[in-house]
Structure 1
Amino acid sequence: MQRKAKAHWTGSVKEGKGELTTQSEILNKTNYSFRTRFVGDEKGTNPEELLAAAHAGCFTMAVSYALTEKGITPTSLDTEAIVSMDGTGITGVHLAITGVVPGVSSEEFGSIAKGAEQNCLISKVLKIPVTSEAVLVVE
């Protein structure tokens, strides 16, 4: 299996602009630029935001997979991924998941999330610290 995305760029790094297109075309000529990446005053995306989205999606699916393997179906799982940066690059990712999962204790949910933190495919390829927290909502 392979997944593809394309980037197109014109101009200098600070004044130029680019477009990102994914294989599925869910992103189709989506704007990205220095301003969308470092200033945040222009509509568009950036590589770090896309990394956060990819990691949130991968981690959430890994938690769902682990629950399913135990015969448990989650009602809902919601994850926020926060990518931290400093002047030299990306320094870490924090994953915060909230779940409504009948039949699971808070401790078990936290343990499953810790396993997913280390074992989802995006976590495995990153060479930075990845942390997580889990909140189980009891209905």
Structure 2
Amino acid sequence: MAVLMAFVVLCTTMSFTVNMHYCGDTLLDYALVQKAKSCGMELSTPGENAGCDLQIVKKSCCQDKSVTAKGHDDLKPSFTSIDLEQQVFITSFFYSYAALFTPQTVTPKAYTNYTPPLLFRDVQTLDEVYLI
């Protein structure tokens, strides 16, 4: 379950871009990390044909599209504006939690070496007092 939750957090916080190359209405290539490969049918730029006086502008049938999915960046809570009551609560919580792990002093028991006196008569049976 922990691995699944870590995977969900990773996927929701990660941003990624899908680059696609269309020629007409047909998807020819897509890429996640790098730019999509071109089909080679793009028109030349006007600067390449500098020797020609006549330039015919033709619309290219190819186009590149990018789809970007942005992740969440607000996973860390902001602790810049904590009021006095919250500071007291946090301080007392950590103090009491740390007190759970401090070693306790143990007082020696004085009656461990003491042996009880011998009974001559069983007083509870004589007085008929029984614990229930």
TMscore range, shorter length? under 0.3
Q: Which has the higher contact order (CA 8 A, sep 6+)?
A: 2
TM normalised by structure 1 equals 0.18
Larger radius of gyration: 2
